[in-house]
Structure 1
């Protein structure tokens, strides 16, 4: 029997394919590489990169290795924080907390990465604290 992470429902990508795609996108955006540039680096079109990132097309092992090389990460990077995986599944058997799906989605977005980059450049602790307070207030206002 297949686990929920490997089963593909009719017409929808399997959760593991979506997760790997999000990790590809997150790393690509973090490195400020376009889909076109990544595609050229591994010999596919930017449309194929889009399909990988959405999980629409499953990434084969050799292609994933090419992507990992182009993005300068180990292949295991794409499986980190995989929902439904047991803690300590990694080759090094470390126990790390899993990221929540909404956090993964956020850090995989253009806005999330832009916010992370900008926030990480703020060195003053008071400014960081005020920024967090501002974002919380804006989020609360948005809920009303």
Structure 2
């Protein structure tokens, strides 16, 4: 089990920021917020569960080529569905190497 040092927390925060940026969601999307807490509307719990599951499964892909195919597939589906966050050219390497490890 990882130690809960300041360095570990900073690394975890940086990784979470990269994931949120890549998914084009606010970091708050990864935290469960009770309805009406601090005046914030509750996020869709089904969507949050799907995002967490997608991240868990993506992290299991150790082959960079497999991660690239997975990302290409998800991007293609999002583009076909008219997703609001277009693919950022040149982001393939950072996205595939920074999230799932290798």
Give the structure-1-normalised TM-score. Answer: 0.29
Relative to total residues, which structure has the larger helix share, 1 or 2?
Answer: 2
Give the structure-2-normalised TM-score. Answer: 0.40
- Select the structure with the greater relative contact order (CA < 8 A; seq sep ≥ 6): 2
